[in-house]
Amino acid sequence: MALFLLPFMLSLSTIKAADPTQAVRGLYCSNSSTFASKSAYQANLKRVLDDLVHRAGGPDQGTCFTSKGTSSSVGVYGSFMCRGGISKKECVGCVKRASCEITSLCQMTKVSILWYDQCMLRYSDTDFYKKVEQEPRLHAYYEWHIEERRKLRELLSNTNSDTSRETAPPPHSYGRYGKVEPHS
């Protein structure tokens, strides 16, 4: 019995808490346009997603647009954007994870978008590069996880007080010009 429990107990020690940055923040899967399994569109989609993952580690880190296929029925356009301030390794990991998950969450759809905290991945059967679109869109509400709320309120209060005191004109003054230096 003890020999059976030992591997089980050792496997429990490797379980980690879920990383909130890897949680899906938004998902859009179009129901209006789908493709068949093993079609030319599916092959081009795989090529686009593979290209995006590859480019996430290259000089295009941060944002990229690519396309595969020339005809309107099998053309696939894709892009990713990584949040500023994350490392190249984090960007690649996020785009790779998104490229795997988007095809399982939005099975056989021609228009899909997947959002994480660190990146966004999108593909479509129409060219969306350099176009402003109203749809698809996502209304997201971010929950702030602040451990020390009292310290944050105190910091904000002090910052506002300092700013108003330093920028307010002195009494009986007709004008004030100056430069405010940040505190070290």
Per residue in 129-159, pLDDT (tens digit) is 877 777 776 665 556 666 777 887 888 888 8
Packing angle, helices 40-56 and 88-105, rounded to 10: 160
User: Does residue 58 contact residue 82 with C-beta atoms inside 8 Å?
Assistant: no
Domain limits, the chain? 20-124
Q: Are 37 and 114 in contact (CB under 8 A)?
A: no
User: Does the predicted TM-score (pTM) go above 0.85?
Assistant: no
With 0-12 / 13-18 / 19 or more C-beta atoms within 10 angstroms meaning exposed / middle / buried, residue 128 is middle
Asked if 76 contacts 68 with a C-beta cutoff of 8 angstroms, the reply is yes
Question: Distance between CA atoms of 55 and 34, rounded to whole angstroms?
Answer: 26
**Tokens matching residue 27:** 């998902």
Pick the CATH number of 20-124 from 3.30.450.40, 3.30.430.20, 3.40.50.20, 3.40.1360.10: 3.30.430.20
| pLDDT tens profile 72-130 | 778 899 999 999 889 999 999 999 999 999 999 999 999 999 999 899 999 999 888 87
User: What is the largest distance, in Å, between two alpha-carbon atoms of the chain?
Assistant: 88
